[in-house]
Structure 1
Amino acid sequence: MYSLDVNFLKDRPAYHKKPENKGGIALKFPTGDLTLLYAGVAVGVGLPALLGVGLWFLQGKIVELEGTIAQLEQEGQRLDTEIGNINKIKAETSAIKGETQALVTVFDQIRPWSAMLQDLRDRIPATVQIETIKQIPPIAATPGQPSNNPAGGLEISGLARSFNDVNDFLLILQQSQFLKSTESRILTAALVDAPLSPGVGQSSNGVIIKPPQVVKYTIQSSMNDVPASELIRELEKKGTVGLVARIRSMQQTGVISK
């Protein structure tokens, strides 16, 4: 007879064992929507690439800026040198202008004696004689301080027929363009015997003739400090042609204002 050998253990769930993965860790991929996974992978790969590109771009800009800075520093040094040269030229120009202006100022204060003497000859009355004309140095208003009028003044001495003649002579001098009217005054005026030539005061019979009396005067006045360039017409009237020509030439060049 035949006997049945049935193994029911194989049909039990506990009997079925999971196969061992001898090849390593089993990978289990997610299923469903993979958008987030792709996005994460893209971010993980793209971010370092963007950082690398940005770093490369910044390094290029830094090199470019360093080159620009070097050029600007070189240009700044060149400009500093040019500015120094310009300042030196300006200083030299200012010094030359100062010297020129000082020379022009002195030249513009010239009072030709020929013009002044001619002016006195034109103004002196017939009853007044001039014996001496003396230039006096400028007098400072305050001791130790420079004078306000560096041209100085004149002292005129002589004889006049009367005191009225001396006063008239003073009034005429006050109208002169070469003298200051406010600083013209009579210093001294006194009656003296008129000077006679030797032998004139004694007659043939030995009688001494007393000479008439006249007024011996001294008038003092300050020279006008008006620039000569403002007295061109008066200088031309007195025949000072050379000085007038030089003043007009400097006016044309702009050294002296018209």
Structure 2
Amino acid sequence: MYSLDVNFLKDRPAYQKKPERKGGIALKFPTGNFTPVYVGVALGVGLPALLGVAWWLLQGKIVELEGTIAQLDQESKRLDTEIGNLNKIKTETNAIKGETQALVTVFDQIRPWSAMLQDLRDRIPKAVQIKSIKQIAPIAVAAGQPPNNPAGGLEITGLARSFNDVNDFLLSLQQSQFLKSTETRIITAGLVNAPLSASVGQPLNGVTIKPPQVVEYTIQSSMNDVPASELIRELEKKGTVGLVTRIRSMQQIGVIPK
């Protein structure tokens, strides 16, 4: 037979072995996932650093932009000065162009009397005489209306053998390049005694010679307002060499269009 020897004293608390201490306090660390902790620490440390770096870069950019703005302000002032000078030069140039154009316009409206008198000599019929030629004020087309031609007009008076001769002279003047055909007309025409010399007018053997009758006329016309540069050929035919030379010189430099 076997006998069981059970010692129940070892199970009592008094007999339990206590753990041995090895000279220190034992620390117990929590266990589990530490990632949120690490992220929080990284954000707490890194975010202020990033903000500091960003602020430093922003300050540098602001200083750079302020320098650029100052430079642009100086450039803008310089450009404003140059624009003002250019506008002044442009204004002076336009004034000079205006004065030049005014002078050219006046020059281009010149009608040499030598050319006009030569034109009249070429057009007068043989049976017509001219007593006087004078320049008159611009002729008004209709009563109460201002004249449309500031160049003025001509008034020609003289004698003709007949009314037909006066009409022929009128038609010839209406073909002139220096006069306006629509404003060339007969103002007066009537029969008068032909002027005789003193020797012819004396009675001969008691007989008085009666002078023949002729037509005394007055013709008025307006000068043509076509520029002289468009009458170069006609001026050349009438021998106006000086004016033609000047006009062609101005055409070469572009002051007067060709």
TM-score bin (small chain): 0.7 to 0.9
Alignment of 1:186-225 (within 5 A): 186-225=186-225
| Other structure's SS at 2:134 match | strand
Give TM-score scaled by structure 1 length.
0.87
Q: 1:53-132 to 2 correspondence within 5 Å? A: 53-132=53-132
Deviations 1:55-79 (A, max 9, x none): 1111111111111111111111111
CA distance in 2, matches of 1:85, 1:176: 51
State the match for 1:152 in structure 2. Answer: 152
How many residues are treated as equivalent by the alignment? 236
Within-5 A mapping of 1:1-12: none
State the superposition RMSD in angstroms. 2.1
Superposition map of 1:5-44 within 5 A: 29-44=29-44
- 1: distance between equivalents of 2:139 and 2:167? 24
Letter in 1 for 2:166: V
1:170/1:30 Cα in 2 relative to 1: closer, same or farther (>3 Å)? same
Aligned residue for 2:238? 238
Report the AA paired with residue 90 of structure 1. Answer: K
Shift >2 Å, 4+ stretches: 27-33, 139-148, 201-204
Tell me which amino acid in the other structure corresponds to 1:233.
Answer: R
Structure 1 unaligned runs (5+)? 1-9, 12-26
TM-score (ref. length: structure 2): 0.87
What is the match of residue 228 of structure 2? Answer: 228
Give yes or no for contact 2:139–2:222 (8 Å, CA) kept in 1: no
Alignment partners' CA distance in 2, 1:62 and 1:143: 80
Assess if the C-alpha contact under 8 Å between 2:135 and 2:152 holds in 1.
yes
1:104 partner amino acid: V
Q: Distance in 2 between matches of 1:46 and 1:142?
A: 99
C-alpha distance in 1 between matches for 2:28 and 2:235 = 123
Which runs of no fewer than 5 residues in structure 2 stay unpaired?
1-12, 15-26
Aligned to 1:48: 48
Q: Distance in 1 between matches of 2:242 and 2:78?
A: 51
- Cα distance change of structure 1 residues 43 and 123 upon mapping to structure 2, 3 Å threshold: same
2:10 corresponding residue in structure 1 = none
Tell me: CA distance 1:204–1:135, structure 2 relative to 1, closer, same or farther (3 Å): same
Q: How high is the sequence identity, in percent, across the aligned residues? A: 82
Kindly tell me: are residues 145 and 213 of structure 1, through their superposed partners in 2, closer, same or farther at Cα, counting changes over 3 Å? closer
Q: Counterpart of 1:38 in structure 2: which amino acid?
A: Y
